[in-house]
Amino acid sequence: MSNKKPYRSSSNARQRNLEVKGTAQALKKAKERTVQQPANLAAWKQLGAELSEVGQFDEALIALERASALVSDDAETLALKGRITHQAGNPEQALIFLHDAIKLNPNYAKAQHYIGYIYYTQARFNEALQHAEIACELVPDDVDMLNTLGNTLMQAFEYNRAKDALEKAARLAPKNYLSWNNLGNVYNAIGDLDKGLESYWQAHRVNPQAPGPFSNIITTYHYHPEKTGKEITALCKKWESKFLSSVTALPLSNLNDPQKRLRVGLISDGFRGHPVGRMITSALEHVSKSQIAFYFYSTNNASDGITERLKSVAEQWMSVQPLKDQQVAEQIVNDGIDILIDLAGHNAGNRVLAVSMQPAPVQVKWVGGLINTTGLSAIDYLISDSIETPENVDEDYVEKLIRLPDDYICYVPPNGYEPNVGVLPAIRNGYITARLF
């Protein structure tokens, strides 16, 4: 079991206490209002919203059922049900509520936007784009909607339009770090790594407390031809000192029983036709279920054939995409995970903050954003081989390196990508044909 000291910060703890206290007061007032005004539709909607803020999703939906009992065809109630149902981990039911909302009011921009956002998390980009565009037509200057539109356009390879949407968002709200961060993603996608870094650094300057842009800087350094391994290592180690002063390790109560079935958690956004999915699926399929139970924590809602194969070996599958880092970490603790394997690193969809809360006694880095050390002392081991991590690099890693003898992945090639192999042209022609590109 890890003996690492938890990160604590009294100033940040005081700030969190103030935030919790304010939320508790708002929730108390909302409850009192429904008692005083049980026939007030707005009161029940407010209670549902406040309950969702503290993660009480079931109670929130009960409150919204009371609202629906008062007015069955209220689009805002249906949209709230959709948002909270999505937060509770049921995106398909959430979409039903939200589509019902826009049937009642097609011009309800927030509902159109949230439909687009859920489709985006499911990698259903054509459908996401349809609703994101409608939302922005209805409310052209909404920064959140512009960000969803820009992100979706990028996934649809419409980079110029994506850049336009995100630049507009940045102009409207220059202090909104997400716009700058997403703009950096677009520049990286078109290969302009310098502009990408410029945008990420601006996002970091705007909000130095947000870890995402700094993780993107680390990842971009990895792809930048002028950056060195030493620079990447230094940035990775700097990440921890910058962002973990506010993180507290969670208390654990795992039983140290050598006879029990191990619970192994895996967290990533790559449980699909993605490098992560293709590198882990075959290996996990050959693990004895009688000895190890796999708990998957997916940071998105995308699904394909690889997803189904991974679900077939899962003891439990959960989408944590809408959850906050604290909620993700608490879920892992509640599930009694013995070994947590991070499969994202600092890459897209990561939950580095949740992992930093040390929700499992042993934490391991495997594939997925495996570009260097994570820089996290909360991670005990890093699985690699002697090619990617030669014998002389151990001091550059915060984690203890586990070098597998030949390779550390079992690759699954994508179906339909294998070329058809024909007769060797040299046999047919009687001579060798060479071509230069």
Q: What is the pLDDT of residues 178-229, one digit of tens each?
A: 999 999 999 999 999 999 999 999 999 999 999 999 999 999 999 999 999 8
Distance CA 42, CA 63 (A): 11
DSSP code for 413: P
Domain residue limits, the chain: 262-404
Average pLDDT on 106-115 reads 98
For domain 262-404, give the CATH number: 3.40.50.11380
For residue range 365-376, list pLDDT tens digits in order. 999 999 899 999
Average pLDDT on 99-107 reads 98
Name the H helices within 207-337.
211-223, 229-243, 275-285, 305-311, 325-334
For residue range 352-367, list pLDDT tens digits in order. 999 999 999 999 999 9
Average pLDDT over all residues of the chain: 91
Is the per-residue pLDDT at 5 higher than 80?
A: no
pLDDT at residue 19, rounded to an integer: 52
Average pLDDT on 227-253 reads 86
Instruction: Compute φ and ψ for 86, nearest 5 degrees.
Output: -65, -45
* Tokens matching residue 168: 């507009």
Average pLDDT on 377-397 reads 94
Cross-strand bridge partners of residue 381: 364, 400
Cross-strand bridge partners of residue 385: 404
pLDDT at residue 21, rounded to an integer: 55
Q: How confident is the model at residue 20 (pLDDT cuts 50, 70, 90)?
A: low
How large is the angle between the packed helices 109-121 and 75-87, nearest 10 degrees?
20
CB 102 within 8 A of CB 111: yes
Average pLDDT on 407-417 reads 84
Name the H helices within 54-124.
57-70, 75-87, 91-104, 109-121
Host H or E run for residue 296: strand 292-298
Average pLDDT on 245-256 reads 76
